[in-house]
Each structure stands twice: as structure tokens, then as C-alpha cells.
A and B are shown apart, each in its own frame.
Chain A
Amino acid sequence: MGLRQAIRLRRERRQRQWRAFRKRRQLKPVADRTAKIDARDVIVFCTLRNERIRLPYFLRYYRDMRVGHFIFVDNDSTDGSREYLAAQPDCSVWTTTASYKAAAFGMDWLNHLLRKYGTGHWTLTVDPDEFFVYPFCDTRPIDALTDWLDTYRIRSFPAMLLDMYPKGPIDAVPYREGQNPFEIACWLDAGNYMISRNRKMQNLWIQGGPRARVFFAEDPAAAPSLNKIPLVKWQRGFVFASSTHMILPRGLNMVYDEWGGEKASGCLLHAKFLSPLSAKVAEEMQRREHYAGSREYEAYSARLETEPDLWTKWSEKYINWRQLEILGLMSKGNWA
């Protein structure tokens, strides 16, 4: 890396840290149980808005994984999400009415909380509709993974976003509270992902899946990014640059092997295409608080009215992590 680029990246990192620091005043504590965090806990960080119906399963999923604590930023929910979370014994909740978009899509808030509470911990930064799957997740808790990563001094662990969808119209089967969303949205695209390398940040840029195929077939460059690095052993100087797609310092983005081998990786099962999606899309179209002028939501609303079935006869039905590893979507690396 040239000196000039090093300086530029450092400046970008400092700027983001500074933004996060300034935005801290937008956050009001609702329930602060961070004193209960054990030094060895894995902590989940999450921003949300009106996700009440999804929360019970979300919490159960990550508690079963032996996550120690949850830190939520509630962006002005009106459906009782905040109150529900504030009542949980292992959750700390902050709330804000400020703009999601102006806070770099929530990342400024999370960057601040990550620095304050995540430093020294393994942190898992996910959305409420993202479910982390890693090698051996059915038999080994998450601290088996993080202990293993510690022995290799690996500081970040990738998990590509895998869009899951139901068979038939997306809104056909209503989602019940507490239900495993992948009972309904259990289908995935196995092999249509497009990867390129981002020289500046050294991350891989992955696009594809049902969203690229159905909504962005004519404009693939605009298709959403699927590369994510949700699991990070946080240190004070770290900062997420663009959602969890990229992180600075950029060495943390080097989660892939360049010499032919496979590093270990996981997946984030994305339960986005699940009822009530149409209502959510309509609301987000009103709020215009999403990435790139909410072009993703524009594309959805245009297509959802006409052809809401993402399923094809080539879709793969989700079984478990071993299937994802055989398909080549994730890897055990040298963990056995």
C-alpha cells in the first residue's frame, strides 16, 4: 500500500470514528445492562425498526448459539419492539428518532456502541432478519468458533448474505411470531454469485442471488452487495465503513485466501422475503431512508406487484450448513 493511500484510508477511518462519536448524542438509553457483560461474552449488535414479530425467534436463535449479550439500537419503533427488548434480561437497548440514512444507515450508531462495549469482545453485527450460520453450528456453540479463531489470531470472519425465499407468492404464508422463518422461506440460489475484488478496501464484492436475478437482471451493477463480515474481534480503532460489507482497517477485509486454499467462512441466512414484505416495502418507499435512494425498494415494489414468486425449479431447499459447504457457499477451512 502506498503512503498516500494509507493516509487516505486512515483519514476515512478517523472520519467515520468521529461521525460515530458525534452521533452518540442521538442515542438515548432505554435499558442499559452492559454491566452484566462477561469478559468472554460474544455480543450481538443490531439496529432495528418495527420488527416486533421477528424478535422472539431472533433472540432464541442467538441465545441457543450461546451469545452472551445483545445490544440494540431501536430507530423509533412504533410496534412495541423497544418495550419488548427492554424487558429481556440479556438485552441493552438504545433508542433514537434521528434519521437512519443520515447515520450512514445506522452504522454510525453501531460503530459508537461497538467501540464502547464491543472492544475486546467477539462482536456479531447483524440485522434482525439475518441468521448467522457457521461450520459445525449444529454441534458447536459460537465460542468454539471464536476460541478457534483466537488460536489462529484471526480477527474477522466472513459470512455471505444468502437471500432465502418461499415457494409461491412472498406474502402468501403469514409469518407467526416465534416461528423459524426458514420453515417458510427455505429456498435459496446455489450458484449464481458474481465476485470481484475491491482493490481499495481489499474486500470481495459479491452480488447475485434471487435479488440480482429477478430485480436487477438488466442492471447488475446496481444489485445489492452480499459480502459481509459480521463477526469481528473488536478493537478500539475498528470501524465499519459500509454496513458490515467493509471494515477498516482494511486488513480485516482479507477474509479470503488468494493462493488457492479455502479459509473458514459462514453464511447469513437472510429472511427478507417473508410476509409482511409488501407492507414493509410500501413503508420504506415512503420513508426513503435506505441505501442509494432506496433503489432496491423501488425495484422491489415495481416487481412485487407483477411477479412475486422468486422460486424456480432450480432453487435449492435449505437443509443445513453442511449442504451450504458442499454447494461451495461457505467453507470449514482447516477447522475439523
Chain B
Amino acid sequence: MTVGFIMMCHTALDRAAQVARYWASHGAPVVVHVDARVPAQDFDALGRALADLDSVSFCTRFKCDWGTWSLVQAAQTGATQLLARHPEVGHVFLASGACLPLRPLHELADYLAARPNTDFIESVTTAEVGWTVGGIDMERFTLRFPFSWKKRRRLFDAYVDFQRRIGFKRKIPGGIVPHLGSQWWCLSRPTLTAILQAPDRPQHDRYFKRVWIPDESYFQSLARIYATNIESRSLTLSKFDYQGKPHIFYDDHLQLLRRSDCFVARKIWPKAEKLYATFLSDRPAESLAEPNPSKIDRLFSKAVERRTRGRPGLYMQSRFPRQDHENGKTSAQYSILQGFSDLFENFEGWLAKYVGARVHGHLFGPDRAAFSGGETMFNGCLSDSAALRDYNPRGFLTNLIWNGRGERQCFMFSPRDTQDINWFTATDPNAQISVISGAWAVPLFHSQMDFSEIRREAARLQQIEIEHLNILRSMYVKARVRIWTMAEFIENPMEPLQMIIDEISPRATRRLTEAPQMIDLTGFGQFLQNLKNQGMQPRLMGDFPVAGDTVPPPRRRPYLVK
């Protein structure tokens, strides 16, 4: 008993000839089907190249289009010819011209000889397949498809739609349960003979002629009727991507293919010299291993994921998602702290001591981006120039988070800074935004400016912060937002600070022992009253009594927005 091959060829005939020669010269008969569209001279050249091999024959040629009945016809014809001419054949292996045997033929022959009545054909009911092209699964078997999906997509879709609307349904012949699977199979002689010589084959053929992509369902469904033992998997390693195109193997996949222990792989790039030279050379048959394509599966599923989902938070020349389709607006979590640096002396230094994170100053400050440690540049050569940053503030932020991958980024913010990123950060689930509202007034309180100027500046900053807070309270917020009024915060600063620190580095067990040094607020209540007296209403600080500055206002819980 041996295995026989049917090869379906339409391009790269020289490679097909090489593979056919390999199989034939190692004792496996081959029937070659060449697409009727291949020019006569190429076909003749192939014939000449294989003329010296008795066990290679050519079958009737059909014009083969993707997903059409002609492919099944070609396979049927090839199989009939192979079974009739070569009685020694126990299994028939359907392969393509772009297939390459990865293991010596004898290993495959031994493997099949040990399983004489097993049919290796992926055959899954329509309910279970997740990979159908065009979102059509069961309807493949119940609708009509007179228009080409590849060339007449609109007509195809419109006609499918029409049939759905009028409730058209074809009747599935009795006994057939629709199954789908890879078109590359290996069937045993009894099963294949039963399919080809079945008394109701004309009926089957007539039905499947009008099924969509019958090459993925004809043998797969009929094998379920006649086979005694189906192994629902293909012996051909063939991976398809999300658009239904086969992945292609190149020279650099050599080691991966070798270690996969698969018998046959497709599709091989025709110019992959090294692959053809390696796998078509004579090697001793030694391994009895089961095919194990998991590594290759992983490689290709990662590629598909990269193409469909991409790397979160990356904006680059070939990935520039539209708003709300980012799949991660930024690449990692980060913290924005507003008001803290106004209320505490050297807050950045204090925070950096307690968290394992990169703590920047005011990245969006009016003069420059204050990177941590006073650096003029950050990872990835991100410049501290305010002009460059404000040219594309969102790009600046996403670059910063991307460049700082592996290290959490924290930065200070205030109404004095560039505000263009507020909507972006508020709607970013990676952002953690903590605001002490009204704290921007503390530097004004200590400034030596003329009071009318202070009043004007206070009104401006308050307006900016109110707008920011409105964003942070909107229904679109995805960030983790916490807002305290200044009065609430200074009443009990340790609790919120601990909360922020726990969130930045959740695994740190160290409790806060030392509070950051708060800036002296003696007379702040009076300062606010002075602003009021000048006609400006400070609204964001909470209650500060005019006299008795040190008396804390009544306790209230900090509130948590989302």
C-alpha cells in the first residue's frame, strides 16, 4: 500500500514539477491537474519535464476559478484516474502546486499505512466554523450564487440579500449534513471510491454545483456519509489570514517548518530556493512524530492580530486610527496630577520617592516640557521645546507614553498649561486624573504681582479650570477621575495621597510615613476674600473662612467620579 497524490497546478509549474518528481521518484504515483488557462507551451514544458516518470500522469484540464465547482470536478477526475491506474494506492492526498513535502515520503506512507481506514479531512458543521469569508456559512448550502464573489461583489451581495428577503431556500438532498473544512485532504481508498461511485452521485453533484465554494464542502460533507473513521484535520499545513488568503512560507521559515513535523505545507513562495533545496533532498525516514503546527499557528495568528488590532497606543505611518477606533488611545497607564505641585513644595520629588514611576513636572507648561530630573529631552529624543510640543500636543503625549513603555509616567498639570489634550486624556481609559480644584490660586497668593493683575489672572485660570472640570464630569469620560476642592484636600491630605500612590504602584506595601511639605496658607482665606471684594468670585477652592486660617472646615469624603 502506498499513498498517491493529486496535484492541482496553475502557476509556478517548474516548482510543481520538482515536487511531482520528488513524490514519483520516491514511489508515490501522481496525477497532475493543470488549469486549462495555463498556456499550451507551459503545459507542454511541464509534460516534457516529467516525461521520464511512468507514475506521473495528467488528467483532463478544467478552467478553475476560486471557489467554483470546477475545482471539485478537477479533484474528482484526478482521483478517479489515480484509483483506476494505481491499484496499490491506499490513500489519496490532494495537494496543490505550491505544496512542499516537509518530511520524507516514507514517513507519510508509514503514518498512513498504520491508519489504513482513517480519512484525514477537516470536516466541521457550519455552526462551528469561525472562518467563513463574507459572513455566509449555512446559507452557502441554501442559497444560489450565480455571480462571482471576486469579480461581481455588488451583484453577489445584492442577490444574496434578495434571496434572504424573499425567503428563498434550496432543499438539501437527503442524507447530507453540510460540513466545511480545508480543501486539502487525504482520503482512504474505500471512502473515496464510495464517494465517486455512489449511486446518487449525479444528485450530489447537481446539488453541490450550486453551493458556494463547493471545494470546501463537497468531500467534507460526503465523507461524513461514507467514512468509517474521520480524523477532522488536514495533513497539509495551510494557514489563512483574515481575508482568506493563504500565508506564504519563505526561506527564513526553514527551522520553523522543520520543527513542525507536518507532512506537507502550503503555500511556498516559488522563489524560496532554500526551502525547495532542503526539503526535496534525500533524507532518511526516521521520525514517527505527530504533526505539531502550534508554533506556526502562533506566528500567523500574531500576524493577523497585528494587522487587525495593532499595537495599542501606537501612531505611525501605517497605523493611524480614527477617533474612537484606537484600540488603546495610549499604550500604557499614566497619571495626571493637577494642583498638587501648587499646594506642596517639591511634590514631584516627594512622589518619586514613593512610587516606582517616572514623575515629570509640568509637561505642558508654557515655557517648556518639564521632563523629570530637569532633562531637556526624553526617551525617543522627545524634545522639551514648547513650540514643538504645542504643534501636536496629542502626538507629544502619545509619543511620551509610547517611548516610556515599561515605566509608568506621571506628570503635573495646571490651568496655566497647554489645555489641548483635555478631551483626549479624559476619554482615555489609561489615564488617571487627580485634581485639587482651585489650587492654582496658591502661587498667585504668594506672588508679588499687582493685585489687579492677580485678579485678572485668577479669573482666567478659574475659567480654564472650570472648562476642564466640565470635561472631567461629562458622560464621555473613560479616565479614572478624582476631584477634590482645595479645602477638602487640605483637611485630610494623607488619605487621598495614599490612594493615588496605591494606584500608581499597587504592589508597594509601604505606607506613607512622611507627608509632602504643604505651602504656607496663612492668610489664604483673606486673599480669597480680597478677590471677592474686587468683584471676582473664587468658586473652586471650597470653603476657607476669612479669619482663623488654621481651623479646618467640616470633614467630607472626597468624591470619586468613575
Contact = CB atoms under 8 A, between A and B. Distances in A.
B226 interface: no
A212 B403 CA distance: 18
A217 B317 contact: no
Interface in B77-111: none
Contacts of B385: 213, 217-218
A330 interface: yes
Interface stretch (B120-128, B159-167, B297-305): B297-305
A258 B321 contact: yes
B392 A196 contact: yes
Contacts of B310: 257, 260-262, 331
Given A217-B387, A314-B381, A336-B300, A265 B307 contact: no
Interface in A193-221: 193-197, 204, 206, 209-210, 212-213, 217-221
B318 interface: yes
Contacts, number: 178
A160 B317 CA distance: 7
Contacts of A282: none
Interface in A114-166: 136, 139-141, 143-144, 147-148, 151-152, 158-160
Contacts of B315: 195
A312 B375 CA distance: 12
B250 A255 contact: no
Interface stretch (B168-176, B241-249, B285-293, B438-446): B241-249
B320 A191 contact: no
B247 A147 contact: no
A227 interface: yes
Nearest to A212: B388
A75 to B, nearest CB: 29
Given A218-B385, A314-B377, A143 B316 contact: no
A265 B402 contact: no
A285 to B, nearest CB: 25
Interface string A37-70: 0000000000000000000000000000000000
Interface residues of B, number: 51
B276 to A, nearest CB: 14
Contacts of A331: 306, 310, 316, 318-319
A257 B243 contact: no
Contact of A213 (B245, B308, B327, B383): B383
B239 to A, nearest CB: 9
A167 to B, nearest CB: 13
B306 A265 contact: no
B41 to A, nearest CB: 16
A47 B242 CA distance: 40
Contact of A261 (B299, B309, B402): B309
Nearest to B378: A314
A260 B251 contact: no
A329 interface: yes
Interface size classification for chain A: 35 or more
B317 A158 contact: yes
A334 B303 contact: yes
Contacts of A213: 381, 383, 385, 388
A91 B325 CA distance: 46
A264 interface: yes
Given A218-B385, A334-B304, A336-B247, A265 B317 contact: yes
A2 interface: no
Nearest to A206: B317
B387 A192 contact: no
Contacts of B306: 261-262, 331-334
A10 B170 CA distance: 47
A173 to B, nearest CB: 21
Contacts of B304: 334
Which of B241, B269, B309, B380 has the most C-beta atoms of chain A within 10 angstroms of its own C-beta?
B380
Contacts of B377: 312-314
A9 interface: no
B395 interface: yes
Contacts of A316: 380-381
Interface string B224-257: 0000000000000000011101011011100000
A159 B318 CA distance: 9
Contacts of B505: none
B264 interface: no
| 7 shortest interchain CB distances as A-B pairs | A191-B380, A334-B307, A260-B327, A265-B318, A336-B303, A220-B391, A189-B381
Interface of A: 136, 139-141, 143-144, 147-148, 151-152, 158-160, 189-197, 204, 206, 209-210, 212-213, 217-221, 227, 255-265, 312-316, 327-336
20 contacts: A136-B250, A136-B252, A152-B243, A189-B380, A190-B379, A192-B388, A204-B317, A213-B381, A213-B383, A255-B318, A258-B320, A259-B325, A260-B321, A314-B378, A327-B380, A331-B319, A333-B303, A333-B307, A334-B241, A336-B303
Given A191-B380, A261-B306, A316-B381, 13 more contacts: A136-B250, A148-B248, A151-B248, A189-B381, A193-B316, A195-B317, A213-B381, A257-B319, A263-B307, A312-B381, A328-B311, A332-B303, A333-B307
